[in-house]
Amino acid sequence: MDDKDRLKALLLQRSYRQGTFTLTSGKLSDFYIDGKQTTLSADGAFLCGKLLFTLLQKSPTRIDAVGGMTLGADPLVTAVSIASYLAGAPIPAFIVRKEAKGHGTASSIEGLKNIPPGGTVALLEDVVTTGGTLLKVIERVEGAGFKVGLVATVVERQEGGSEALAAAGYRLESLFTRAELLS
């Protein structure tokens, strides 16, 4: 079994659930993928980090940092950063807060000192449905002066996220589409 097959098995075992669920978008769904059940496990984090780092390496644009919206992206960006370090090509991580913190630096992006000014970043998410979270992250990151060179997810639910991002000028890369995960 290769790494992608191992990750698929973990996602199906730990993260995929059938039933009635309300998604972040407010939509009802007959299944749910709780990515954090996989990304917060040692083997799941390792596999996500390794596979997403491989995807970043294929980017035609040099990636200076990897980040995303807290909480879904937190374990992913850390895992990718560690995988990149172990491969001898370190990429720092950053986290975008849902709201700017009300004390200290009042920053909405943590890890800014690790990103070169005007740098190109990759944005990650564990599961994408409508793309709304990623569009918010793109707006904040570009508002802070960075370029978005890659947008990627572990699972693309195939419910409009890729299309919404494409309409905004971004291509969504995924380790798995819903069809691939459930095949």
pTM reported for the whole predicted model? 0.95
Residue 15 lies in a domain: no
Task: Read off the pLDDT of residues 36-77 as tens digits, 9 standing for 90 and up.
Answer: 999 999 999 999 999 999 999 999 999 999 999 999 999 999
Residue 22 lies in a domain: no
Q: Which domain holds residue 137?
A: 48-182
Residue 172 lies in a domain: yes
Confidence of residue 140 (pLDDT cuts 50, 70, 90): very high
Residue 30 lies in a domain: no
Residue 12 lies in a domain: no
pLDDT of res. 103: 54
- 163: domain CATH number? 3.40.50.2020
Assess contact for 146 and 116: CB atoms under 8 A. no
Task: Read off the pLDDT of residues 84-127 as tens digits, 9 standing for 90 and up.
Answer: 999 999 999 999 998 765 555 558 999 999 999 999 999 999 99
pLDDT of res. 55: 96
Compute the half-sphere exposure of residue 80: CA atoms within 13 Å on the CB side of its CA. 31
Residue 41 lies in a domain: no
Residue 6 lies in a domain: no
Residue 24 lies in a domain: no
What is the count of structural domains for the chain?
1
Q: Is the peptide bond before 71 cis (omega within 30 degrees of 0)?
A: yes
